[in-house]
Amino acid sequence: MRIYLVHRVLTAVVVYSLALGAAGHQQSNCVSRIPEGRITGHCISIRQCEYFLRILQRPDISQAERNLLRDNRCSRQEDVQVCCPVDGYLSGLGALTNPLLPRECGVVKWTRLNETDTQIDEFPWMALIEYTKPDQEKLHACGGVLISDRYVLTAAHCVSGHSISSMGWQVRNVRLGEWDTLTNPDCQVSKTSKQPDCAPPHQDVAVEEIIVHPVYNKDGKSQTNDIALIRLRNPAQLNDYVQPICLPNKQVRADELEDLVTEVGGWQTTSSTRMQKSEVIITSIENCQRQYAQQNVQILASQLCGAAKSNECRGNSGGPLMLLKNNVYLLGGIMSFGPIPCPSPGWPDIYTRVASYIDWIHENLKP
């Protein structure tokens, strides 16, 4: 079978879950006390909180650290529960070292369900890029992901690729807070109360600047460095339906994510106008390299490979590969390209590995 490599239109979301017991369950927010101050946290098992688990695993715990553990205990259950800092346990991640990126990001505020249909407030960092054709017709094609109230991350081919330039399309706006592309505002009937849950109208925010990675080559078959930043003209209005995702630690390697079961989501499917999701498995980078070499495509360590566990593609170009850790989503990758037909059993999709570009992202942010 011949595999044709193409960019996907619209957005991909991917979720990776570590085996941490009841990962979908969390109690209400609490205030976590850490040396840097007080920040929002979640009351969860200490075994699920890396921030405090690292302290417990030290050979000699200081008295100050003992006091910290005691002060953050939030439940008297047999399984010790602590107020795990939302961004505190992500210490060391690139997202927390830049004042222009949010301290609170990627927080799960919905009940996670193993269903194809997403909920109205699920993945609130999802973005759709709006293009204007030469005849002034507007359409949404590629996706993106909100990383702050002023910046959206997407694939470079979505804003400077051959298909965009050859057709004369112009990137004008970014849509945030979308769920059902046929309605505005969007509403979903609650399964418990049977009452409609309605989101505010979606936000179409004008684009101020597009920053394409300087080494991206739109003619290259491997599509390395397929990443771009979009600066919004005005800050996005954050609410429960519009929130930024967290950036990952730049030390996270591709092989560390191998075999993780993830999710993708977006609006590519023809079966629904609402955002859909499905599972994806991160595959071996070495196997992926050997496989794509058959098509004279070189896969590098700055990329990720993911195999869809679905008979229908739901993710789209430029959208996020999301990693779920301690009920917080990190941005693992950006959808770059994949085989046609989609999905093609045995042929993974290719993502730009965001951890490889943390320094570039930080260098290009401005107030």
List the catalytic residues. 157, 226, 317
- Whether 258 contacts 284, CB under 8 Å: yes
- The span from the CA of 261 to the CA of 258, in Å, is 9
323 phi, psi to nearest 5 deg: -110, 120
Secondary structure (3-state) at 114: coil
SS3 content of the chain, % helix, strand, coil (to 5): 15, 35, 50
Q: How far apart are CA 362 and CA 213, in angstroms?
A: 12
Give the integer Cα–Cα distance in Å for 312 and 336: 18
The answer to whether residues 299 and 35 touch, using CB atoms and an 8 Å cutoff, is: no
CB 42 within 8 A of CB 29: yes
List, in sequence order, every residue forming a beta bridge with 11; answer none if it has no partner.
none
Strand partners, 323: 330
Q: Which two tokens stand for residue 3?
A: 């595999």
CA separation for the pair 246, 128 (Å, rounded):
18
Structure-block tokens of residue 242: 């519009």
Measured CA to CA, the distance from residue 287 to residue 290 in angstroms comes to 5
Look at the block and give the residue holding tokens 């390299």.
Answer: 289
